[in-house]
């Protein structure tokens, strides 16, 4: 059989990694090698950012150590029963690839995940070895995100945090039922247990660094997780609730939502079609409402329709406002920041600009037009010095007036 070159394996293992959406590199500690020690930095110019066709950031060297796997998760292209080409890197090969790509300025860091080979412990050891060698043997200062394997020994999972900027453990599916049905080798309790331990190790490390300047850092960019959307029957209400629980329990930096992609030779228990990408987008918007706009989980859940799903044609903040019309209109010149953030069409930047501008004079619609992208969406929900929406908020067809017009389906392509 023909020996696969490193380029062949890179093609296979980079392609196999594309299903993982949790690759953002934000929020880590600042490190540079401008002093001539080591190489790379977590900040800086000339870093290559690439985006997959569906818009996901793939600016890191994002690969699997191997796509061999002893587990058989139905939704995963790398599951043991899948008929895909398999490949494997050694830890040393990943180290060399990362350094070569970094030196050529193709990447800003490494996102490394893996199928499970031999055992969870063996795989975790290999992942850690990559990060250790990069940091210790090569003085690599760039960003490292390690996917950790919850089934591995707890000491190994915790070691990952000593070398990586960010660690993540995928909860995979929003409900325990989904996990049992679609990922029979995984255990929800084990996944959450590992997340909890990582969370505690992060807190302890932060605490230690407050007391001892040279105490080691532990995953300074925090931990994240990913949920697959649309592979099981979980509703958006359930997904929003689950994400919220995870943020609260484990102080996660991010929950990523990944619309399920149908895979070759898919198991019969999976849906035939992927959910609309817009569903993923709406879930991210709902996530932002909770994290940055002061909405509670239950408030966002009331933005869903009777079937528990977020509307695809309007964003969750508008959906919420249409269901809570009694809270509007909001006076732009008097309302608190919290109230302004609830107005559909006003983002955090626009609200900051309004708060600043209204110190000097009472704002009129014209002023708002300069501070926001459009006032059309705002009009029914606001009062300004020269505008009051008499009755507009109560009109039965307000939703239709504010939803974007449906797009003609393309016949070809
Ligand atoms: S353990 Fe990971 S790589 Fe293996 S089948 Fe499950 S999701 Fe895929």
* Chain segment 329-348, per-residue pLDDT in tens: 999 999 999 999 999 999 99
Confidence category of residue 391, pLDDT binned at 50, 70, 90: confident
Residue 361 above 90 pLDDT?
A: yes
Pocket test for ligand 1, best of 16, 21, 76 (most atoms within 8 A of CB): 76
- Residue 192 CA to ligand 1 center (angstroms) comes to 17
CA of 73 to the centre of ligand 1 (A): 6
DSSP state of 112: E
Between 25 and 212, the more confident residue is 212
Q: Strand runs (DSSP E) across 156-286, as ranges?
A: 166-168, 223-229, 254-259
Q: Which residues pair with 387 in a beta bridge?
A: 384
Any atom of ligand 1 within 6 Å of the Cβ of 79: yes
Which of the pair, 94 or 393, is modelled with greater confidence? 94
* Cβ of 69 less than 6 Å from ligand 1: yes
Spatial distance between the Cα atoms of 302 and 327, rounded to a whole number of angstroms: 14
**From the CA of 183, how far away is ligand 1's center (Å)?**
8
Residue 28 exposure: Cα atoms within 13 Å on the Cβ side:
28
CB 143 within 8 Å of CB 24: no
- Segment (H or E) for 146: strand 143-147
Tell whether the model's pLDDT for residue 56 goes beyond 50. Answer: no
For residue 380 and ligand 1, the question of a CB distance below 6 A is answered with no
CA distance 174 to 177: 9
For residue 113, what are the β-bridge partners? Answer: 64
Give the other-Cβ count within 10 Å of 318's Cβ.
22
Is residue 219 a contact partner of residue 164, using CB atoms and an 8 Å limit?
Answer: yes
Distance 384 CA to ligand 1 centre (A): 54
The mean pLDDT of 135-152, rounded to a whole number, is 93
Phi, psi of 62 (to 5 degrees): -115, 105
Q: What are phi and psi of 45, to 5 degrees?
A: -95, 160
- Ligand 1 centroid distance, CA of 60 (Å): 21
- Whole-number Å distance between alpha carbons of 163 and 134: 9
pLDDT at 31 over 70: no
Verify whether ligand 1 is closer than 6 Å to residue 288 (CB atom): no
Establish whether residue 73 lines the binding site of ligand 1, counting it when its CB lies within 6 angstroms of any ligand atom.
yes
Length of the chain: 413
Pairing relation of β-strands 223-229 and 166-168? parallel
CA of 371 to the centre of ligand 1 (A): 47
Ligand 1 atom, smallest distance to 64 CA: 3
């Amino acid at each position: 059989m023909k020996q696969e070159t490193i380029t062949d394996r890179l093609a296979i293992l980079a392609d196999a990694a594309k299903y993982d959406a949790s690759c953002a590199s934000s929020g880590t500690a600042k490190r540079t090698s401008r002093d001539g020690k080591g190489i790379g930095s977590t900040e800086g110019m000339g870093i290559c950012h690439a985006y997959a066709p569906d818009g996901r950031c793939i600016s890191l060297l994002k690969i699997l150590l191997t796509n061999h796997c002893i587990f058989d998760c139905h939704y995963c292209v790398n599951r043991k029963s899948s008929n895909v080409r398999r490949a494997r890197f050694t830890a040393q090969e990943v180290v060399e690839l990362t350094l070569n790509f970094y030196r050529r300025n193709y990447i800003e860091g490494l996102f490394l995940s893996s199928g499970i080979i031999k055992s969870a412990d063996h795989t975790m050891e290999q992942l850690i070895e990559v990060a250790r060698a990069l940091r210790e043997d090569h003085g690599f200062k760039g960003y490292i995100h390690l996917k950790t394997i919850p089934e591995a020994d707890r000491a190994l999972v915790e070691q990952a945090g000593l070398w990586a900027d960010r660690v993540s453990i995928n909860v995979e599916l929003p409900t325990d039922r989904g996990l049992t049905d679609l990922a029979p080798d995984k255990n929800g309790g084990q996944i959450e247990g590992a997340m909890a331990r990582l969370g505690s190790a992060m807190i302890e490390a932060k605490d230690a660094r407050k007391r001892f300047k040279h105490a080691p850092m532990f995953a300074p960019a925090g931990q994240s997780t990913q949920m697959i959307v649309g592979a099981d029957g979980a509703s958006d209400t359930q997904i929003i609730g689950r994400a919220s629980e995870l943020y609260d329990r484990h102080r996660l930096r991010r929950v990523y939502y990944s619309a399920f992609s149908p895979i070759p030779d898919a198991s019969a228990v999976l849906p035939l079609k992927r959910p609309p990408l817009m569903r993923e987008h709406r879930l991210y918007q709902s996530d932002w409402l909770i994290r940055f706009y002061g909405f509670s989980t239950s408030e966002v859940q009331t933005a869903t329709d009777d079937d528990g799903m977020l509307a695809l044609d309007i964003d969750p903040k508008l959906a919420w406002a249409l269901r809570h019309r009694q809270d509007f209109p909001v006076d732009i010149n008097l309302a608190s920041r919290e109230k302004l953030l609830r107005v559909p069409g006003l983002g955090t930047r626009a609200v900051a600009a309004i708060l600043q501008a209204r110190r000097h004079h009472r704002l009129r619609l014209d002023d708002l037009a300069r501070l926001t992208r459009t006032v059309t969406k705002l009009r029914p929900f606001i009062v300004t010095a020269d505008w009051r929406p008499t009755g507009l908020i109560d009109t039965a067809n307000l939703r239709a007036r504010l939803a974007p017009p449906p797009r003609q389906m393309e016949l070809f392509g």
